[in-house]
Amino acid sequence: MTNTLHRFGSQESLSGDFIVFAMPGKGFNDEGSLEKARTFLRTAIKYRPINMGNALVNALYRPEKNLSFITLYFHGRQERTTYEKLIDEIPAAGSAAVVFDRREPVAEFLAEVKALDLGLSVNVSALVDDVRHICGEVSITPHAVEYTLGFHGATERLPDRDTLELSTMCGHGMVSSNFARKMLDRVKEGRIKPEAAVCCMAKFCVCGVFNRSRAMMILDRTATGS
């Protein structure tokens, strides 16, 4: 989940982005970790995360590999699976991740995870002051902090800010900057609705850490020219 460390955006935009993930340490607590990861994900459901995944199977938003003219015409796109189906499908613990767009459910979820005492390593990627605030609320003392120091080197080769904000929501680079740019342009031209564009992009992030709400904000901003 180094893929959640370098999300680009303004403080305001990042304040609605929380990724909570659990993973076992190989050789330390990986025995029996699959059921613990499933418990972690099932526990998250009642707090209504906006995305979920574990990087070993396709995430909540996923491609459809068996489309036909008939299914498209009569059923339309079925781009989102259910939380339960995803959780049943995961073959190993991996990095079980859930994404929230508000602080309150994160605190409630973490309080329950702490009480469950699963024994997996649990991390939160977000604005560090918000995480510290949440830790205080739920009486958790952080073990370690990893800060992003940003992008360096040939940064003149990077795309514009809106594109980068969208594409870095998949830290593995699976939402390519060209595709993010295409979605921004199409929304601006009125050729695709922001909701549909967000769905398209979310499917490429196999870890399920793409923040739909933030993406909607960016696309809405583009559509309205604000």
Q: Interaction with other proteins in 168-197: which residues (CB under 8 A)?
A: 168, 171-174, 176-179, 181-183, 186, 192
CB neighbours of residue 214 within 10 Å? 23
Q: Among the candidate windows 82-90, 97-105, 110-118, 211-219, which touches other proteins by CB under 8 A?
A: 110-118
Total residues binding other proteins (CB under 8 A): 94
Dihedral class, residue 44 (left if φ above 0, else alpha if ψ from -120 to 50, else beta) = alpha
Q: Rounded to an integer, what distance in angstroms lies between the CA atom of residue 210 and that of residue 192?
A: 19
Residue written as token pair 């305001």: 12
Here the tokens at position 196 are 């549909």
Minimal distance, residue 185 CB to other proteins, in Å: 10
Q: Does 85 bind other proteins (CB under 8 A)?
A: no
Here the tokens at position 134 are 């949440």
- With CB under 8 A as the contact rule, the residue among 63, 88, 161, 220 that binds other proteins is 63
Q: Of 87 and 164, which CB lies nearer to other proteins in the complex structure? A: 164
- What 8-state DSSP symbol labels residue 24? P
Q: Does 100 bind other proteins (CB under 8 A)?
A: no
Instruction: Please report, to the nearest 10 degrees, the dihedral formed by the alpha carbons of residues 133, 135, 138, 140 taken in order.
Output: -160
Q: Among the candidate windows 62-70, 80-88, 99-107, 211-219, which touches other proteins by CB under 8 A?
A: 62-70
- With CB under 8 A as the contact rule, the residue among 12, 74, 153, 190 that binds other proteins is 153
Here the tokens at position 148 are 């992003």
Subset of 25-44 contacting other proteins (CB under 8 A):
25-32
